[in-house]
Structure 1
Amino acid sequence: MAQNPSLKNAAISAGLEQVLHYLEKDPETNIPKIMKLIDTVTPKDWYAKQRAAFRKAIEEKNNWYQLIMKVYELDPGVRQAFFRNFILNASLQGSARQEEVSARENCNVPWAILLDPTSACNMHCTGCWAAEYGNRLNLTFEELDSIVTQGKELGTYMYIFTGGEPLVRKKDVIALCEKHSDCEFLSFTNGTLIDEEFCQEMLRVKNFVPAFSLEGFEAANDSRRGEGAYQKVRKAMKLLKDHKLPFGISACYTSANYADISSEAFFDSIIDAGALFVWFFHYMPVGSGAAPQLLPTPEQRTEVYDRIRAFRKTKPIFSMDFQNDAEYVGGCIAGGRRYLHINARGDVEPCVFIHYSNVNIRNCTLLEALKSPLFLAYHDGQPFNGNMLRPCPMLENPEKLRKMVHDTGAVSTDYESPEAVDTLCDRTTPYAEAWKPQADKLWSESHPDQAE
């Protein structure tokens, strides 16, 4: 009789709990021993690629091994909570539950949910999607709590705060972390509201990780975020490093800052500051304030593609390029396939960058939202392109987004200045057409058997 996948994952989780406890005693000595044990007792196909990469890192003591050792410099309680919530709850047991619900309900179930506690922000940065919502909207604590509670029933244990500036609601954010101690919470933040008191709260709840928004070095960053913003982020990073707290960087690359933001000097500066991860986001020209001139050219995007992949082999930091790394996640991850976004008015959106929706969380359950027309259109249409360097239905396949919005009757959730989908897609079509030849060339060179 076939083994129940949930029972198998539960057994593996229990074993990993013991492994993590053992590692705490002497990680440098015990990590190689544990790797050998894992290879012996787990199925050969269980996270085979990840295990192979991990084994190589241990044997060569390369940049990934250095990153692992940096994790062991963190506060022990925070580190243990991260391993338990992120690896066991979100990535192992949670993923099994997500697959189970997805198969039963024939819809996507997200690994992570992005939430806007508020639309309010103390900054107004060029190209920020949140600016399109205005600054007077909020999800109540009870609504946030309900979303997380519903999410856990579906197997979702990873929650990411966006905004606005989420830490305008720092007391509610911490209260949510405390109530749902089995979840991992991450927050995009401008860093200006992180102080000694908040660091102590992070140490207390143990399951909150900030990602600071940086657009490069001081001149480039402050040109979008205002004078003095860069130094404020540096101050917040130092505060967290001194308290042995984890953090990362969120970086939006444009035609103006792409060279700085993907440079070795930038990587080295954030690594020296203590960052454990950096997420790169391609500029998205959404809303009435969009600046299409900030869209990277095909040559500029290719340079970012090459640089990030090169540094991934040498630098002790986890880096992900959310437009050029789609091959690692099977294409577009929106629409609940890996994540969804709920804005501060409660609109449930397939993508944080694309502001259209059929449903509001105040009028439906999370599962009902995932089965709404626009979400099912994503479910049925993904991947939107066989070339994983052209994953997005807005940026690289605008005809797909145009059709999904029209077919499902989704409406704009930009309440300050509603934008018709045709207006948005007309703006991204020239970019898509310019990028296609270069994307096809890159894809055929790296994946000759999959090229269109």
Structure 2
Amino acid sequence: MNTTFDSLTHKMQRAALGKTADIVLSHVNKDREKAMTQLVDVAKTFYGDSFSEEAYNHARQTLSNPDSKWSRLINCMLDQLDPNVARTTALNLGYEAFFRGTKTIRENRVKYQCNIPWLILFDPTSACNMHCVGCWAGEYGNKNNLSFDDMDKIVSQGKELGVYLYMLTGGEPLVRKADILKLAEKHNDVQFAIYTNSTLIDDAFCKEVVRLGNIAFMLSIEGTPETNDARRGSGHYAAVMHAMDLLKQYGILFGTSICYTSANIEAVTSDDFMRFLCDKGAHFGFYFHYMPVGNEAAPELMPTPEQRKYMIDRIRYLRSEACDIPFYPMDFQNDGEFVGGCIAGGRNYFHINSAGDAEPCVFIHYSNANIHDSSILEILQSPLFMAYHNGQPFNKNHLRPCPMLENPELLRKMVHETGAHSTDLQSPETVDHLCDKCKAYADNWQPMADEIWSHTKIRESRYENYKDWKPGQQ
């Protein structure tokens, strides 16, 4: 009886939100601000006390002001997106993941006393048609693939735990584009996001993505043609430009995936580059600090402390109302203060490689469990994942969140104590070798990080720090 009631409630809530989304999408710009404030009211009926009344009022004020950064950003995206893409993404992210999924995740964290993530990242294949300098993915070789049944198992079991967002990387995921489309069609209530080098995006594929509506893309790019092709190979920049034009033409949601290094950090954050991305149709981006993972890594590409401070200041400026560029950047290494430190180990996400090995993080190539002989829940309860669960946050200074990069002695200890093995199939790297490469960086960054943190407004614990959360709380 409860299952039937829950199913009916689910359908009614999704239908109500869908109707509101249709109203927003049907309005021209002069009426859209009013419709978006109504969307806040609908959201409040779902989320309730999860957010304060002050937060809801702030959202209404921001969205009703056509000159605010958020209004301009949302309008740019709504004007560009195909209606089916916009509607499906809003329902899958806004309702299934943020609302319904989050409630289930919180309950399961208490029930199972382990990390339950908000998203799962997995590699359909290790095959790639490129050979980028310093790429961590290249350490896996190019012969492994998750079968369709493997990927279906990951998504099906994840949904049971409340996970409705799945990111795909590789290798180059679009080597498996037929299976990806099949997976997205079977799980059309889930949002998929694909990290891609762009070279395999074509018209036929775009038409299918629009039909399904639940796939977004993050395109790898690193600044100017010169800085990009220096690491990714001649001709790659042109391929990304072509893919951006296609995705914009078809109204598909896409952003950027940018690895910042000591060599490109200013090029990939300049005003000109940001405006250029917006003109091409990208309005959000994920920035990743270069990690010296693998025996063939290039530690000299790690940013200096001064460069990292520049990155912190720059990203915060780009997100502020002082910046008129309708682009929203996220920097996972420097945004720890907003999520309570490290989000890996299943706290908010984890990674499954193309051989099925479950890793705490896409940059941490050590594992105790494999999807071929363990369930998602068993993976989250495996020794290395529980070491993450019990150790997080790894530092009170959330500008030093990572147990590898800023606290290498912690990763070394966890891997040794849990007996986790290297998952690098080509050239296995010992945890001691990896952590030794990070020690000087960690020592050099600590004084500056502590100085910045001492002037940072410490934020109150949010639901991400769920160890303090009790059943019945919002």
Q: TM range, normalised to the smaller chain?
A: over 0.9
| RMSD, aligned CA | 2.2
Equivalent residue, structure 1, for 2:227: 220
Q: Any idea what the Cα deviations from partners look like across 1:39-94, whole Å, max 9, x if unmatched?
A: 69973553657535533422433121111112322111111100111110011100
Equivalent residue, structure 2, for 1:23: 24
Gap change, CA 1:362 and 1:269, over 3 Å in 2:
same
Identity %: 51
Equivalent residue, structure 2, for 1:119: 126
Q: 1:72 aligns with which of 68, 75, 78?
A: 78
**Aligned AA (1:71):** M
Q: Does the CA-based 8 Å contact 2:168-2:195 persist in structure 1?
A: yes
CA distance in 1, matches of 2:186, 2:445: 46
Q: How far 1:425 moved relative to its partner? A: 0.5
Equivalent residue, structure 2, for 1:85: 92
Q: Which is worse superposed, 47-56 or 238-247?
A: 47-56
Equivalent residue, structure 2, for 1:309: 316
Q: 2:349 aligns with which of 323, 327, 339?
A: 339
Q: Secondary structure of the residue that 1:305 maps to in structure 2?
A: helix
**Aligned AA (1:404):** M
Q: Secondary structure of the residue that 1:249 maps to in structure 2?
A: strand
Q: Residue 242 in 1 paired to residue 243 in 2?
A: no
Gap change, CA 1:22 and 1:429, over 3 Å in 2:
same
CA distance in 1, matches of 2:188, 2:52: 26
Q: Any idea what the Cα deviations from partners look like across 1:153-172, whole Å, max 9, x if unmatched?
A: 11111111110000001101
Q: Any idea what the Cα deviations from partners look like across 1:332-371, whole Å, max 9, x if unmatched?
A: 0100011110000000000000100001110111100000
Q: How far 1:397 moved relative to its partner? A: 0.6
Equivalent residue, structure 2, for 1:318: 328
CA distance in 1, matches of 2:451, 2:35: 44
CA distance in 2, matches of 1:360, 1:449: 36
CA distance in 2, matches of 1:45, 1:168: 40
CA distance in 2, matches of 1:391, 1:52: 32
How is 1:41-120 mapped onto 2 (pairs within 5 angstroms)?
43-46=48-51, 51-61=56-66, 62-73=68-79, 74-120=81-127
Gap change, CA 1:11 and 1:332, over 3 Å in 2:
farther
Unaligned runs of 5+ in 1: none
Q: Secondary structure of the residue that 1:259 maps to in structure 2?
A: coil
Q: Any idea what the Cα deviations from partners look like across 1:213-260, whole Å, max 9, x if unmatched?
A: 011111000000001101110110011111111101000000000011
Gap change, CA 1:41 and 1:333, over 3 Å in 2:
closer
Q: Which is worse superposed, 9-18 or 344-353?
A: 9-18
Q: Residue 32 in 1 paired to residue 24 in 2?
A: no
CA distance in 1, matches of 2:98, 2:371: 25
**Aligned AA (1:170):** K
Unaligned runs of 5+ in 2: 1-5, 461-474
CA distance in 2, matches of 1:150, 1:403: 30
Gap change, CA 1:303 and 1:53, over 3 Å in 2:
farther
Q: Secondary structure of the residue that 1:446 maps to in structure 2?
A: coil
CA distance in 2, matches of 1:279, 1:361: 27
Q: Which is worse superposed, 297-306 or 61-70?
A: 61-70
CA distance in 2, matches of 1:53, 1:328: 18
Equivalent residue, structure 1, for 2:469: none
CA distance in 1, matches of 2:285, 2:50: 29
CA distance in 2, matches of 1:79, 1:353: 31
Q: Does the CA-based 8 Å contact 1:13-1:92 persist in structure 2?
A: no
Q: 1:128 aligns with which of 135, 153, 162?
A: 135
How is 1:324-363 mapped onto 2 (pairs within 5 angstroms)?
324-363=334-373
Q: Secondary structure of the residue that 2:194 maps to in structure 1?
A: strand
How is 1:260-339 mapped onto 2 (pairs within 5 angstroms)?
260-313=267-320, 314-339=324-349
Q: Does the CA-based 8 Å contact 2:338-2:459 persist in structure 1?
A: no
CA distance in 1, matches of 2:54, 2:175: 40
Q: 2:185 aligns with which of 153, 164, 178?
A: 178
Gap change, CA 1:11 and 1:50, over 3 Å in 2:
farther
**Aligned AA (2:62):** A
CA distance in 2, matches of 1:10, 1:93: 12
Q: Does the CA-based 8 Å contact 2:336-2:401 persist in structure 1?
A: yes
Equivalent residue, structure 2, for 1:425: 435
Equivalent residue, structure 2, for 1:401: 411
Q: Secondary structure of the residue that 1:43 maps to in structure 2?
A: helix
Q: Does the CA-based 8 Å contact 1:332-1:382 persist in structure 2?
A: yes
Q: Secondary structure of the residue that 1:279 maps to in structure 2?
A: strand
Gap change, CA 1:48 and 1:38, over 3 Å in 2:
same
CA distance in 1, matches of 2:136, 2:42: 46
Q: How far 1:30 moved relative to its partner? A: 1.9
Gap change, CA 1:49 and 1:359, over 3 Å in 2:
farther
Q: How far 1:7 moved relative to its partner? A: 11
